[in-house]
Amino acid sequence: MSDSAIELSGVGKKYRFFSLDNIHLKLPEGQIMGLIGPNGAGKSTTIRILMGLVHQDTGHVRVLGFRMPAEQVAAKWDIGFVSEDMRLYESMTLGWHMNFIQSIYPNWDPAYAQLLLKRFGVRAEQKIKGLSHGQRVKAMLLLVLARKPKLLVLDEPTTGLDPVARHEILRELTNVMADDGRSVLFSSHNTQDVEQISDQITFIDRGRIIDSMDKEMYLDRWRRLRLEAPLGIELPALPGIVDVRQEGRLAIATANAFVPDLANAYERAGVRVQRIESMTLEEIFVANVEHSREEVGA
């Protein structure tokens, strides 16, 4: 049995106007991974492949130790999947959906379901068509969480939610993670949401994984250096610097593998390092995507 909840290796899928290329992704059990990418980057396609809903053209996919898509039925007993483009039956009540899911899943926990109803502020007798967008997302999360899956796959669940609803959902996800065995893959283009709950971050753009590592490692390694280069001194090209923007004597260098020696190297070249700044995940994401696009374009 594998100790990875999700393992994609060399996965590819070609469409007419989009292709997913050579995707390698590994989510260890008990971890939360944020999958961040701009719209159309391939997040949903990747998730559909790992759910067995779309067959990959190349590569191998294992989820909870099961080969996908061949063993998707066995795997999906322990996967809770919520997607932004997923809808419940509008003419039926939330209670009807709860009964439907309970009739299928032996792990359904009625007490926990009742607790979630209270926490999320939704009522079982409410028809889905009478719920707001935020309440519908909460209803779907309730249906998934109350069956206690080992793996949660959430495809942009917070898209379109107001800040309060987003906060409630993220808080519940954090609570769910108190169960150490549970793994979560959380896709979003909202880096703030991902930053709050993820252990690992994967950036995807134009069908390629451009970076994947521990969240803390990202925050440690990425730095912005504000530099001042006296007239006649050229900024040296240093390893680990992925972007330099210069206006007159002032420059901003972005490092994706920052070590204190980098600042020393600038100083040795006659460039004054004014300030070294930490970067937010959003800034890291944007810099990463731009750097990756420049590399591909070069």
Positions that interact with another protein (CB under 8 A): 48, 51-55, 72-74, 76-77, 79-83, 85-92, 96, 100, 103-106, 140
Closer Cβ to another protein, 84 or 214, answer by number: 84
211-223 CB burial, b ≥16 within 10 A, e <16: bbeebeebbebbb
Closer Cβ to another protein, 135 or 196, answer by number: 135
Burial class (CB in 10 A: 0-12, 13-18, 19+), 100: middle
**Rounded least distance, CB 53 to another protein, Å:** 5
Closer Cβ to another protein, 13 or 26, answer by number: 13
Which strands sit side by side in the sheet containing 223-228, from one edge to the other? 241-247, 250-255, 223-228, 272-278
Closer Cβ to another protein, 15 or 162, answer by number: 15
Residue 241, number of CB atoms within 10 A of its CB: 20
Q: Are 76 and 51 in contact (CB under 8 A)?
A: yes
Which strands sit side by side in the sheet containing 58-63, from one edge to the other? 19-28, 4-14, 58-63, 66-68
Q: Is the peptide bond before 69 cis (omega within 30 degrees of 0)?
A: yes
**Rounded least distance, CB 199 to another protein, Å:** 24
**Rounded least distance, CB 252 to another protein, Å:** 43
Closer Cβ to another protein, 25 or 51, answer by number: 51
**Rounded least distance, CB 149 to another protein, Å:** 10
**Rounded least distance, CB 107 to another protein, Å:** 9
